[in-house]
Amino acid sequence: MSSPTRGLLTAAGAAVLLVGAWVEGGPPSQAHASAQPAAVLHQGGYAGFTVSEGDRDARLSQEYQGCMDRAQGTVDMRRCAAGEHQRLTRLMDSTFRNAVGRLSQPSARDRLRADQTRWQQGLHDHCRRELRESGEEGGSMGLLVLDGCALSELIRRTLWLEQHR
């Protein structure tokens, strides 16, 4: 499989296992990077924060990339995505706690906490919008798009939190 194709499927596949439960039970606690982010997702300077495909891919684990290389179909890709989603969620949560801890003003900490809550609440709508724009609604590739969105947004948010002061 070519590297660009694998990259697309890697990003897309990562979200797939998450999405089955997500579509029915609400959003996971994160989502994907986009050149045109949804307004509801991006508060407090996050809107203009972009992540290159290379920087995003560098944040995906070797385990995930190997899993995607071995995947024989959508079910396998969704399994890969679920594990990577858990890993990235833990990383983002830790990065969020560190970002809050770096802020000396209680009001700044409160604003970041509120922003994080808004970001988490907006992920589902953001990724559903990306799915509609992709034209892949209704099929297994649509689940991959949603999964890729979730992973990319987790990475993007983590990188933003690392730089937040």
Q: Would you state the pLDDT for residue 120?
A: 94
More confident residue, 124 or 19: 124
**Would you list the domain boundaries of the chain?**
3-163
Q: How many CB atoms lie within 10 A of CB 28?
A: 25
Q: Please say if the pLDDT value at position 39 is more than 80.
A: no
Burial class of 40 by CB neighbour count within 10 A (0 to 12, 13 to 18, 19+)? middle
The tokens of 164 are what? 């937040």
Angle at 73 between CA 144 and CA 69, to 5 degrees: 90
Interatomic CA distance for residues 43 and 91, integer angstroms: 20
Q: Which helix (H) or strand (E) holds 151?
A: helix 140-163
What predicted TM-score, i.e. pTM, was given to this entire model? 0.74
Residue 20: how many CA atoms within 13 Å on its side-chain side?
Answer: 12
Helix (H) or strand (E) holding 55: helix 53-59
What is the amino acid identity at position 157? R
Average pLDDT of the residues of the chain: 79
